[in-house]
Amino acid sequence: MKRAWFQPVREAVPFLAAAALWLAPLTLSPSSVAFWRGGAYSDLVISHWPNALLVHQGAFDAGRIPLWNPTILSGTPFAADPLSGIWYLPNWLAVLFPVALSFNLLFLVHLAWAGWGAARLAKAEGVEGRGALVSGLAFAGAPKLIGHIGLGHLGLVEAVCWTPWLLVAIQSMVDTLSRDGRGWLRKSALLGVIFGVIFLADPRWSVPAGIIGIVYAAFRLARSHNIGGSSLPMKRVAGGATASGLFALGTAAGLAIPLWEFLQLSTRAGLTAGERTALSLPLGRLTNLVVPDFGGWPEWLAYPGIAVIVLAALAFAGNRPKALFWWATALGGGLLALGPALPIYPIADLLIPGLSFLRVPARFLFLTSLSFAVLAGLGLQSLLHSSKDARSRRGVLRIGIIASTSIILIELANALAPGASNVLRARAFAGTAFTILAFVWLGLMTRGMVGSKVGVAGWVFLVCADLALMAFSSLRIVPADSVLEDRASLAETVAGEAAGGRVLSPSYSLHQPSAVIAGLELADGIVPLQLASYRDFMSESLGFSAEGYSVTLPPFPNGDPTTKWPVSLDPERLGLLNVTHVVSDFPLQADGLVLDTRQQGAYVYRNAHVRPRAWLQPSRDATQEWSPIERIELSVDAIQIRARGPGTLVVSEVSYPGWRATIDGRMAPITTVYGLLMSVDVPEGAHDVVLEFRPAGVYVGGGVTLLTLLALAGLWSRR
């Protein structure tokens, strides 16, 4: 029993140590936050951190998980937002414990999980222990993966780190089907659940994961046969695929059902072809495959490491069918990353479900990184096996010469190109130096001057040194306290003056974590999924164009929220949203805006046309006459109101499917007024009106997910 537990632990330890190396600054300062060196913002701080704080407040203060997020965009469906993180169970670590430390631990553990998974995948491809170790290190330390940690893409990193395990599960299922078929249901169910987990971590990555999963399954099926040597029964294959699909859908249902409803009503549903490929990898950036792009923008990082590329080339000296498959996969990821630069992406956009909701084709480069990692393991194995045969050694050395020469020529072409910057030249010369080192080490091993153990250790050192240098150049560390202190006093001051009302900032002057801590509710926000009805309402309220997609509301013309842009405020429309104050980094002018104070470089305006959170008006059409209500209480996912009718009760809350209203305990219909807000017709007399957010899709989806996981546990508990 001890050995059964010890073996997985022993396998995982090297990758935990490597993850601590890639994230060395965070390892030494675990209460800090990692930022990409070239960026001032991080999605971890903008979205994941405030979401964790919101869940913490709801779970510990009110005793329930919030399904509606009142903190941004005047309210948005929280359980339907993948960035809420509530459906991916490891994220609850950040809800239960100190946030910065928890997020850093999540990154560390997932990098180790990715490395372990890549090593297991390499073993499934026939790579022995030492080669598998290099595969795991190459993927866990992939510069693109580390770079996205700097961008704060928590869910994306988590989902990508599950990808090698998805392929391992496919290999296990296919092997089971190709032998006697016993246990195929358990293996198929596990495969489906892993894919569902990827969806729960980040639905966007489920599309590339699904593509590589289908391609890899086809590759394994094409090379498999059962013991009798006959072809694999298609009924058995169909049964396994069906079971995997059902378990995948069941696992993902908790998020998938409410998300699908949200998507149909969001601005994401209207992405144009240009917006779907706006963040493609530029064709000229392909040379960065062999040029170490120190500190480069993570979305365009293609560099897997020089030692990794050299070893990947050596894979052709061994099992060529496998080498060809993984090189084709690496190439396919690179081609898809280019977006519309080549015809392959527009065709894929038409054929692949879900691809039309994605915006960053360059993320297909993660598949390239994983492919190179597996190839590196295959290449190292070919190198080690070549020591037994002089002809094999010559073949390996020949491939090494071709690969190294090609890399150096590309490096020199970049360094000597007209107009090349000093930075580019430095990167090219660094790549050349790593290439020479890798080739020299290859030569020493093929000539027998270095033993296999020392030789493997040298390759491990080259891989780790190269990737660690890339990691250090990509990340900068900021103490968590300084992140939260950024304009915290401004948020507290405005919260005191707003007295429960909403606040708008056309310049992102109030950062979302500080707003949540101060108890502020914002009418603006940064989030990929936005209701189209809210965007349209705000476009008329702030004077920006409703055309085009933006992750920020309002959209910032040049990407810098602090730069002045032509704001045209309508305080009366903002008053309908209970916006009591407007905070801006630049001065504003509008009838009804009164400058209260300046603090920490921001202008704080009071809105003279603000309306309360709820009011009565004579009818749905009589929008100018209104009167106050008697009482209102706000709680998690609920609003309790005491109002005296007759009239239309307007609640300054965004109308969305899942809100239910009762008057004195009896169900009442909700209608939408002003194109956005909820209203309920109240009869004559004093009445208690309660609005609760109880989306059926969340409960149905959550129930299906729970039953699916219980079914998996039942299958695996059977002997």
185 and 216 inside one domain:
yes
Q: What is the pLDDT of residue 244?
A: 95
Q: Which of 586, 607, 628 is the last residue of a domain?
A: 607
Secondary structure of residue 271 in the 3-state scheme: coil
569 and 652 inside one domain:
no
Does the residue 363 lie in any domain? Answer: yes
Q: Which residues contact 487 (CB under 8 A, 6 or more apart)?
A: 509, 510, 511, 514, 600, 602
Does the residue 504 lie in any domain? Answer: yes
Q: Please, are residues 531 and 654 in contact by the beta-carbon 8 Å criterion?
A: yes
Pick the closest to residue 42 from 90, 83, 91 (CA basis): 83
Q: How far apart are CA 283 and CA 297, in angstroms?
A: 15
621 and 595 inside one domain:
no
Compute mean pLDDT per 10 residues along the chain, 719 residues long, and list them: 63 91 91 91 92 92 92 96 95 88 95 97 92 96 96 97 98 85 87 98 96 94 63 78 96 97 93 88 86 91 94 89 94 92 84 86 96 96 83 86 91 80 84 91 89 92 94 92 84 91 93 89 95 96 92 86 88 96 94 92 95 94 86 95 95 97 96 96 96 97 96 85
3-state SS, one letter per residue, for 434-500: HHHHHHHHHHHHHCCCCCHHHHHHHHHHHHHHHHHHHHHHHEEEEEHHHHHHCCHHHHHHHHHHHCC
Pick the closest to residue 107 from 35, 204, 57, 213 (CA basis): 35
Q: Please, are residues 483 and 45 in contact by the beta-carbon 8 Å criterion?
A: yes
Domain, as residue range, for 525: 486-607
123 and 214 inside one domain:
yes
CA distances from 1 to 4, 342, 524 (A): 5, 54, 56
583 and 625 inside one domain:
no
Buried b (16+ CB within 10 A) or exposed e, 254-271: bbbbbbebbeebbbbeeb
571 and 638 inside one domain:
no
Q: What is the pLDDT of residue 228?
A: 44
Does the residue 93 lie in any domain? Answer: yes
520 and 560 inside one domain:
yes
Residue type, 474: S
602 and 621 inside one domain:
no
Q: What is the pLDDT of residue 227?
A: 42
Q: What is the pLDDT of residue 5?
A: 56
182 and 41 inside one domain:
yes
594 and 656 inside one domain:
no
Q: How many domains does the chain have?
A: 3
Half-sphere exposure of 554 (CA within 13 A, CB side): 29
State the CB neighbour count (10 A cutoff) for residue 562: 14
Task: Give pLDDT tens digits for 542-568.
Answer: 999 998 899 999 998 877 787 888 999
124 and 58 inside one domain:
yes
Residue type, 572: E
Q: Which of 578, 607, 636 is the last residue of a domain?
A: 607
Q: What is the pLDDT of residue 226?
A: 45
465 and 490 inside one domain:
no
Q: How far apart are CA 512 and CA 48, in angstroms?
A: 10
Q: Which of 471, 495, 528 is the last residue of a domain?
A: 471
| Intra-chain end-to-end CA distance of the chain, in Å | 17
Q: pTM, whole model, 2 decimals?
A: 0.95
Does the residue 354 lie in any domain? Answer: yes
Q: How far apart are CA 465 and CA 112, in angstroms?
A: 17
